[in-house]
Chain A
């Protein structure tokens, strides 16, 4: 489904600012995998997602979606297969357009956009049904500008827009991090139900280990541009936050030891 094969990405190579964000990363996702991604700041999680989405070009390695190389496709071309929700609730919607206009934009993901009216009565019905599932009452505010919504509402809408056309892959980058705990909880629940309903293949970055354990069927941990831990479903179910922290400390320690030895 999604294959990342020996991908490396270095920012500012050959300068004092050189920064290896991804170091020979390989990852394969099967259809319907829901993978949570954790790791310290600067571990390369966002870079990994940006590389999949085509925001950032890889230095080397291969990138396949459904066995087809997408390495040379532009971000807006890959968008046909990839839905995204960003950390910033403002990033995923157009604030000056209405809720129904935003949904109309999302509806045409990856399709030609021509002279059909964006919002038709039939489409409006569909939007209402989709919004109903959010249980935020937004189905009654179709003509409200999205800029008027709260951060949590906007993020829920972003999630809906990113997912309701059932993209091949859903990328979530700390999409609950900017919300207060209550709303974060709401969006997490929505994420779970959306992903499970349509069996979307999903990569979800989070700093919340508890959340990372609670959702998804697989967990990976990144550190300094590498995937250092990859827990399949059964092991993930047995894992605890304390266990993850211990694992992290162990691997970090080992990395330090390596470096000490090399030095």
Chain B
């Protein structure tokens, strides 16, 4: 249960990244599956080589930003469909991640990681580590809230909302699109780097299906906490990420095995997309939007 809360808060960082692309930029970015692992791979291999864990973690996040930039450039300059651009980067990252790690699994158990102080003091799995994770996630949330309310952040929101309009006010939407993808994937990769250190290893397949976890978090969160303003939405995303973990925790406790989790994620997302069309949730605005997105895609 406590572990579920910790994981929820950690994966909440990834969900914030997914929120930035899917909801703010209105861009279905599938790079996530790859950049999550890239963050983990970069951080893990640097730590193994003796680089201080915080530096390695930041490097992991930066590698995610690069992945996001690649997708953004393919989409804007290369005029490749957004979904395809993300898939291309994601697939390419599979090979790159293997190169970075040198093998498909990189253990970190005897290394000094950012989790080591918590683990050595027996805090992991307890209220203190939950508090620390919560503070970290909230700091990122507030940073995003603030960023999106700046002149630059508003132009990013407008890019996702009405691209023609914001161009007519002098915004280079190629730039805002690439920037958002970079920030989003940096968050996702940061999450990957932290998760690897939390679980004690990086694995080349740890990102598979992750986009569904992110989407499920965003959708569940907005079903629980409705509201359009950014700070409500980012809070909802974090709550959604935690609730998602709790659902998974309960599913496991009910006897399902970890390999069933991808199926559960997919069913959750499908349910969240279909239910509103059957009436009672039709009023929730975020659902309508995601539905449109889903129907189009």
The interface of chain A, by Cβ under 8 A from chain B, is 53, 74-77, 79-80, 82-84, 90-97, 101, 104-106, 108-111, 113-119, 145, 161-162
Partner of A108 from the list B165, B167, B170 (CB cut-off 8 Å) is B170
A114 to chain B, nearest CB (A): 6
Instruction: Find chain B residues with CB under 8 A from A82 CB.
Output: 168
Q: Which residue of chain A is the closest to B176 with respect to CB atoms?
A: A113
**Which positions 165-200 of chain B face chain A at CB distance < 8 Å?**
165-173
B170/A93 in contact, CB under 8 A: no
Q: Answer whether residue B71 sits at the interface, using C-beta atoms and an 8 A cutoff.
A: no
Q: Answer whether residue B2 sits at the interface, using C-beta atoms and an 8 A cutoff.
A: no
Instruction: Find chain B residues with CB under 8 A from A114 CB.
Output: 150-152
B167/A76 in contact, CB under 8 A: yes
Partner of A93 from the list B154, B155, B165 (CB cut-off 8 Å) is B165
Given the known inter-chain contacts A115-B150, A118-B150, please indicate yes or no for A80 contacting B165, CB distance below 8 A: no
Instruction: Find chain A residues with CB under 8 A from B169 CB.
Output: 79, 105-106, 108-110, 161
Partner of B161 from the list A97, A116, A161 (CB cut-off 8 Å) is A97
Interchain CA distance A92-B169 in the complex, whole Å: 10
Instruction: Find chain A residues with CB under 8 A from B228 CB.
Output: 96, 145
Q: Answer whether residue B265 sits at the interface, using C-beta atoms and an 8 A cutoff.
A: no
Q: Answer whether residue B158 sits at the interface, using C-beta atoms and an 8 A cutoff.
A: yes
A154 to chain B, nearest CB (A): 11
B168/A75 in contact, CB under 8 A: yes
A115/B151 in contact, CB under 8 A: yes
B249 to chain A, nearest CB (A): 34
Q: Which residue of chain B is the closest to A113 with respect to CB atoms?
A: B151
What are the 7 tightest A-B residue pairs by CB atom distance, in nearest-first order?
A: A79-B170, A113-B151, A94-B161, A118-B154, A110-B170, A94-B158, A94-B162
**Interface of A (DSSP majority class):** loop
Partner of B171 from the list A76, A92, A93 (CB cut-off 8 Å) is A76
Interchain CA distance A101-B169 in the complex, whole Å: 13
Instruction: Find chain B residues with CB under 8 A from A91 CB.
Output: 162, 164-165
Interchain CA distance A48-B237 in the complex, whole Å: 46
Interface size on B, residues (CB 8 A): 23
A117/B158 in contact, CB under 8 A: no
Given the known inter-chain contacts A76-B173, A97-B161, A118-B149, please indicate yes or no for A105 contacting B168, CB distance below 8 A: no
B157/A92 in contact, CB under 8 A: no
Instruction: Find chain A residues with CB under 8 A from B166 CB.
Output: 94, 105
A75/B151 in contact, CB under 8 A: no
B165/A97 in contact, CB under 8 A: no
Count, A-B residue pairs, CB within 8 A: 89
**Which positions 120-172 of chain B face chain A at CB distance < 8 Å?**
147, 149-155, 157-158, 161-162, 164-172
A97/B150 in contact, CB under 8 A: no
B179 to chain A, nearest CB (A): 11
Given the known inter-chain contacts A77-B170, A80-B170, A109-B170, please indicate yes or no for A96 contacting B152, CB distance below 8 A: no
Interchain CA distance A71-B110 in the complex, whole Å: 62
B151/A104 in contact, CB under 8 A: yes
A4 to chain B, nearest CB (A): 19
Given the known inter-chain contacts A94-B158, A105-B158, please indicate yes or no for A84 contacting B168, CB distance below 8 A: yes
Interchain CA distance A105-B153 in the complex, whole Å: 10
Interchain CA distance A77-B165 in the complex, whole Å: 13
Q: Which residue of chain A is the closest to B162 with respect to CB atoms?
A: A94
B142 to chain A, nearest CB (A): 14
Instruction: Find chain B residues with CB under 8 A from A97 CB.
Output: 154, 157-158, 161
Interchain CA distance A79-B151 in the complex, whole Å: 17
A119/B168 in contact, CB under 8 A: no
Interchain CA distance A89-B152 in the complex, whole Å: 25
Instruction: Find chain B residues with CB under 8 A from A94 CB.
Output: 157-158, 161-162, 165-166
B152/A113 in contact, CB under 8 A: yes
Assuming A53-B168, A95-B162, A113-B152, what are 9 further A-B pairs, CB within 8 angstroms?
Answer: A76-B171, A91-B165, A94-B157, A94-B165, A104-B151, A105-B155, A105-B158, A114-B151, A117-B151
Q: Which residue of chain B is the closest to A171 with respect to CB atoms?
A: B168
Interchain CA distance A115-B149 in the complex, whole Å: 9
Instruction: Please list 14 pairs of residues, one from A and one from B, whose beta carbons are closer than 8 Å in the complex, sorted by A's number.
Output: A74-B172, A75-B167, A77-B170, A79-B170, A79-B171, A91-B165, A94-B157, A95-B161, A96-B157, A108-B170, A115-B147, A115-B152, A118-B154, A161-B169
Given the known inter-chain contacts A84-B168, A91-B164, A96-B228, please indicate yes or no for A116 contacting B154, CB distance below 8 A: no
Interchain CA distance A145-B157 in the complex, whole Å: 13
A121 to chain B, nearest CB (A): 14
Interchain CA distance A117-B151 in the complex, whole Å: 6
